[in-house]
Amino acid sequence: MKKLVAITISLLAALSLGILIGLQLPTVQDTAIVPQNVTEKPVFDLTAFTSKKTVHKSALSPFYENTVRMKLPAVMIDGTGIMTTALLKITEGEGNIFFNFNNVLISPDTEQSIRNAINVASDVTGVSTGNLDFYFTLSNINASMLEGSSAGAAFCIAVISALENKSLNHDVILTGSLNHDGTIGLVSGIKEKAIIARKTGAKLFLVPYGLSKELNFTEEEYCHKYGDFDFCQNEYTPYWVDYSKEAGIEIKEIKTI
pLDDT one-digit tens code per residue, 146-178: 678 899 999 999 999 999 988 899 999 999 999
Q: Is residue 48 part of a domain?
A: no
pTM: 0.72
Q: Give whole-number Cα distances, 239 to 10, 214, 217, 234, in Å.
A: 116, 8, 6, 16
pLDDT of res. 55: 60
pLDDT band at residue 134 under the 50/70/90 scheme: very high
pLDDT of res. 76: 84
Q: Please say if the pLDDT value at position 72 is more than 70.
A: yes
pLDDT of res. 27: 45
Mean pLDDT of 89-102: 88
Q: Is residue 157 part of a domain?
A: yes
Residue 130: closest CA among 163, 177, 178: 163
Q: Mention every residue, 6+ apart, whose C-beta is less than 8 A from residue 31.
A: none
Range of the domain at 198: 53-211+244-254
Q: Please say if the pLDDT value at position 97 is more than 90.
A: yes
Q: Is residue 216 part of a domain?
A: no
Residue 184: closest CA among 255, 121, 136, 239: 255
Q: Mention every residue, 6+ apart, whose C-beta is less than 8 A from residue 231.
A: 223, 224, 225
Which tens digit of pLDDT belongs to each residue from 179-209? 999 999 999 999 999 999 999 999 999 999 9
Rounded CA separation 25/149 (Å): 80
Q: Is residue 133 part of a domain?
A: yes
pLDDT band at residue 40 under the 50/70/90 scheme: very low
Q: Is residue 59 part of a domain?
A: yes
pLDDT band at residue 143 under the 50/70/90 scheme: low
pLDDT of res. 186: 94
Rounded CA separation 110/151 (Å): 8
Q: Please say if the pLDDT value at position 81 is more than 70.
A: yes
Query: Which burial class, exposed, middle or buried, applies to 98 when counting CB atoms under 10 A from its CB (0-12, 13-18, 19+)?
Result: exposed
Which tens digit of pLDDT belongs to each residue from 211-233? 999 999 999 999 988 888 889 99
Most confident stretch, 20-34, 36-50, 184-198: 184-198
pLDDT of res. 105: 73
Q: Is residue 37 part of a domain?
A: no
Contact 129, 167 (CB under 8 A): no
CATH of the domain at 184: 3.30.230.10
pLDDT of res. 31: 37
Q: Is residue 163 part of a domain?
A: yes
pLDDT band at residue 5 under the 50/70/90 scheme: very low
pLDDT of res. 10: 54
Q: Is residue 221 part of a domain?
A: no
Q: Please say if the pLDDT value at position 45 is more than 50.
A: no
Total domains in the fold of the chain: 1
Give φ, ψ of 222 to 5 degrees. -120, 130
pLDDT of res. 53: 59
